Structure 1
Amino acid sequence: MTPATLLGVASCGVFLKKFPLAVRGFARLAVITTSGAIVTGSFLLATGCNSSPIAGLSVGYHNTLEGIQPIPQPLPNLTATCNADCSCESSNYNPVCGGDGITYVTPCHAGCREQHVLHDDVGHGYKFYADCSCIQPYEDVDVTTPSTPPLDYALDGQCDDDCDMLVLFAVLYAIVIFINSWFKNPAIMLILRVVHEDDRTIALGFNSVCMKLLGFLPAPIYFGVAIESTCVLWNKSCGQTGDCLLYDLTKFRYVFIGLFLALKCVSLTGFSIVAILAEKAHAKEMKRFKALPTSDDANQADVNMNKRNRSVKDKSEV
């Protein structure tokens, strides 16, 4: 989202050039933009696609020995009575879409015994699996009728998802990045305004060091830990855990965006403290300014002084 960031920084620069602000104004703008990023970012939590049902990971198996109802079992658990004799490897992810609309991790986990290659009209081939013991119809097929053929087949690839939230999510995310980029210029101006002119270089350098130590360096670590916590299927080989093969999309969205919003709340707290201190300093300055004599008071004081001087002069002449 670099274009949104560039547009946000540039538009904020134009705004600050047209409407010059003092320290109090910069602090207020930082609070407003950070709050806006949090509010708009919250909508991202409800904008996204959920994970498609995957047997053994998000939903239970529909075993042929138990009928068409899901088998109660703790998840994740890729082994069921329908594939217990298959000795399936749980470290591979070669998904197939069953005739029941559920995705299975591999054809083996679907209990498929036959593999065929079908060709379409243009000659493209695709794999077709049949005689899959773990796949049973449970919606549109009357299993009480013996003549009804079971949908115990699977097609290569994950089942299609009807979710079409990508465009809306991308637009909202661009808006969040645009609003969030507006706090950069006020933050820099606050640093330049609140320190002595001779210390501005040191202040900017110290700010850069803090950003790298507290942001750029540890961020990949804690974001990586947060993302890994949403993994539901790992690649395991020789007793070693490798890369994540499959994530829980819903949990991934909540964890990733939730961590971003939590960090923005910390930033909002800091800017709010600065804004409060700036308001107090401004109020104190206004109180001190009001205590100073005005021009009218100075003129009246000169008049009174002249009267006293003439009075003293008249008395001396007498």
Structure 2
Amino acid sequence: MIYQLASGLTVALKRLLTNPTLMLLNLTVSCDLAIVGGFTFFVAKYVEIQYAVTAATASIVIGGINLPGTVFSNILSSFCIKKFDLNQFGLGKMMAFFSFCSFLFAIPLLFMGCSNPAIAGVTTHYNSSFSQGSLPNLNNSCNCNCACPDNVYKPVCGSDGITYSSACHAGCTDVWREGMENVDELGLSNNDTIYIRCRCIATNDHWETTDEGGIGTEGPCDWTCKKLLQFALVVAIITVFSSMKPNPGTMLMLRCVDSCDRALAIAFCGVVMRVLGFFPAPIYFGAMISNTCLIRQESCSREGACLVYDLERYRYSFIGLFLGLKLLAAVLSTCTYYSINPDRLEKNKSETLPMEPLKENKRSKSP
């Protein structure tokens, strides 16, 4: 009994593995699941960092985009399949069309971002005439005697409009105290922690205090990126196109195999899609995001959370990987369409022909 089951399973698996349409369809859907497992999981963090919004705002924006678009697209794709009575070729063409549309609309995301905010020694050089080497480099002649730790980020906004990693890195030697001067004249709040005699901060006419340097306030300088609305609209369109694909993909998977293999095909495809697409995606998406970190927290000689990201590199890496998966899915869906076997189409038609109702013999009435 066990031998017969194993033998039958082996033969059925061989039929599935030698079915080019099914295997290409598996790879196509694996790319789509990789996008779900990578891009969808990390996009809220991307929005938070790239557009300088809170985590709550980023989650609301992404949730407000994904839910309506997914529901609408699933209903619309089901209606189209039923209305036009799509066969295998129609289903494959539908998948390829929406794959390329999704890829083309994703290209503008590469340019919907802003440049890095000015952070001395991290994204821009200190205001110094001396050669400072490559970035990031937090050490400079203006703070060389301060012994500032590298893996600390307590930002200070300088009077020159540049953010410094900490008051130490800004070369500040004192804190503003009551009675020293009226802070209202400088346009600052009495509640702000104000650092003075900061040798790394260039002085100007408005905030100049002494000849020893400028002043700084606790917290980063104001920086905004006003492209969140454009990003949200484009992602909403991509979500609609992407969500049009699962229904024709499922129908095509069931129709490209023999009726006796459909249950096994569903299980086989579920395993392949998750192993190749869903499970590894967060690993390489996370690794790529981690490589864009400029300043990382360190505790007990162990690396911790990232404190500052290179926004431009982050955008090109994250969206670039997303675009690569989109392009691969579009190419594979086209290959899936061209791999459809016309003979199988005729076979499926014969299997789904409606059965004629049985004619009941009329009983002759007895005289």
Match among 69, 78, 83 for residue 4 of structure 1: 69
Deviation at 1:7, TM superposition (A): 2.3
Alpha carbons 1:62, 1:71 under 8 Å: kept: no
Residues 3 and 61 of structure 1: is their aligned pair in 2 closer, same or farther, counting only changes over 3 Å? same
Deviation at 1:147, TM superposition (A): 11
Deviation at 1:266, TM superposition (A): 1.8
Deviation at 1:39, TM superposition (A): 0.8
Identity of aligned residues (%): 36
Q: Which has the higher contact order (CA 8 A, sep 6+)?
A: 2
Alpha carbons 2:116, 2:312 under 8 Å: kept: yes
Match among 324, 329, 349 for residue 267 of structure 1: 329
Alpha carbons 1:27, 1:186 under 8 Å: kept: yes
Q: Does 1:59 align with 2:59?
A: no
Q: Which residue of 1 aligns with 2:163?
A: 103
Q: Secondary structure at the match of 1:125?
A: coil
Match among 19, 22, 41 for residue 106 of structure 2: 41
**Cα deviation code 1:8-41 (max 9, x no counterpart):** 2222222222222111111111111111111111
Q: Which residue of 1 aligns with 2:191?
A: 125
Deviation at 1:117, TM superposition (A): 7.1
Q: Which residue of 2 aligns with 1:31?
A: 96
Residues 240 and 148 of structure 1: is their aligned pair in 2 closer, same or farther, counting only changes over 3 Å? closer
Alpha carbons 2:91, 2:249 under 8 Å: kept: yes
Residues 75 and 260 of structure 1: is their aligned pair in 2 closer, same or farther, counting only changes over 3 Å? same
Distance in 1 of aligned mates of 2:81 and 2:164: 56
Alpha carbons 1:61, 1:71 under 8 Å: kept: no
Q: Does 1:76 align with 2:141?
A: no
Q: Which residue of 2 aligns with 1:289?
A: none
Q: Secondary structure at the match of 2:317?
A: helix
Aligned length: 272
Residues 51 and 214 of structure 1: is their aligned pair in 2 closer, same or farther, counting only changes over 3 Å? same
Distance in 2 of aligned mates of 1:96 and 1:117: 17
Q: Which has the larger radius of gyration?
A: 1
Q: Greater shift after overlay, 148-157 or 29-38?
A: 148-157
Alpha carbons 2:198, 2:214 under 8 Å: kept: yes
Q: Greater shift after overlay, 1-10 or 77-86?
A: 1-10
RMSD: 2.8
Alpha carbons 1:99, 1:151 under 8 Å: kept: no
**Cα deviation code 1:165-221 (max 9, x no counterpart):** 111111211211221111111111110111112211111111111121011211111
Q: Does 1:177 align with 2:239?
A: yes
- TM-score of the superposed pair, with normalisation by structure 2: 0.68
1:104 maps to amino acid: Y
Deviation at 1:53, TM superposition (A): 1.3
Alpha carbons 2:112, 2:230 under 8 Å: kept: yes
Residues 97 and 191 of structure 1: is their aligned pair in 2 closer, same or farther, counting only changes over 3 Å? same
**Cα deviation code 1:107-158 (max 9, x no counterpart):** 111111222379989x972222221110115xx759xxx9997871112211
Match among 263, 279, 284 for residue 217 of structure 1: 279
Distance in 1 of aligned mates of 2:235 and 2:212: 44
Distance in 2 of aligned mates of 1:5 and 1:114: 56
1:194 maps to amino acid: C
Residues 117 and 164 of structure 1: is their aligned pair in 2 closer, same or farther, counting only changes over 3 Å? farther
Distance in 1 of aligned mates of 2:151 and 2:72: 44
Residues 114 and 148 of structure 1: is their aligned pair in 2 closer, same or farther, counting only changes over 3 Å? closer
Deviation at 1:5, TM superposition (A): 2.1
Residues 190 and 147 of structure 1: is their aligned pair in 2 closer, same or farther, counting only changes over 3 Å? closer
2:342 maps to amino acid: A
Q: Secondary structure at the match of 1:61?
A: coil
Match among 267, 274, 277 for residue 205 of structure 1: 267
Alpha carbons 2:209, 2:215 under 8 Å: kept: no
Q: Does 1:193 align with 2:193?
A: no
Q: Which residue of 2 aligns with 1:155?
A: 217
Q: Tell me, which stretches of 5 or more residues in structure 2 are unaligned?
A: 1-65, 347-367
1:255 maps to amino acid: S
